[in-house]
Amino acid sequence: DVKVTQSSRYLVKRTGEKVFLECVQDMDHENMFWYRQDPGLGLRLIYFSYDVKMKEKGDIPEGYSVSREKKERFSLILESASTNQTSMYLCASKGIAYNSPLHFGNGTRLTVT
């Protein structure tokens, strides 16, 4: 079974702090994704990566950056956290076939005060 592990379940940070959200997958998947989930808005794609050191912007990249130094690890970085980044963050990975499914972690609920 594919396992996608997000390092923190809950995080509370202050406005202006730099925040790192870590994600690790154990199935040698090429593609990794970061989404945020908000009530009434569903899932929105922040960034994705299709290979080590490669990244592409999703639908809402502003205020975020990412890092993929190793195939199994994909980090989401909030350079200067703001209250409107309070949300549930979901990491996912998938194989290279277009119709292969996404495998999600359990999410990190981030609160910025």
Partner 1 sequence: GDSVTQMEGPVTLSEEAFLTINCTYTATGYPSLFWYVQYPGEGLQLLLKATKADDKGSNKGFEATYRKETTSFHLEKGSVQVSDSAVYFCAHSYNTDKLIFGTGTRLQVF
Q: How far is CA 69 from CA 4, 74, 91, in A?
A: 17, 8, 16
Report the alpha-carbon distance of residue 35 to residue 54 in Å, rounded. Answer: 17
Q: Does 24 bind partner 1 (CB under 8 A)?
A: no
Among 19, 21, 31, 36, binds partner 1 (CB under 8 A): 31
| Contact yes or no for 110/22 (Cβ under 8 A) | no
Report the alpha-carbon distance of residue 46 to residue 105 in Å, rounded. Answer: 15
Among positions 35-94, residues that touch partner 1 (CB under 8 A) are: 40-43, 45, 48, 50, 58, 90, 92, 94
Q: Shortest gap between Cβ of 28 and partner 1 (angstroms)?
A: 15
The residues of the shown chain that bind partner 1, judged by CB under 8 A, are 4, 31, 33, 40-43, 45, 48, 50, 58, 90, 92, 94, 96, 98-99, 101-107
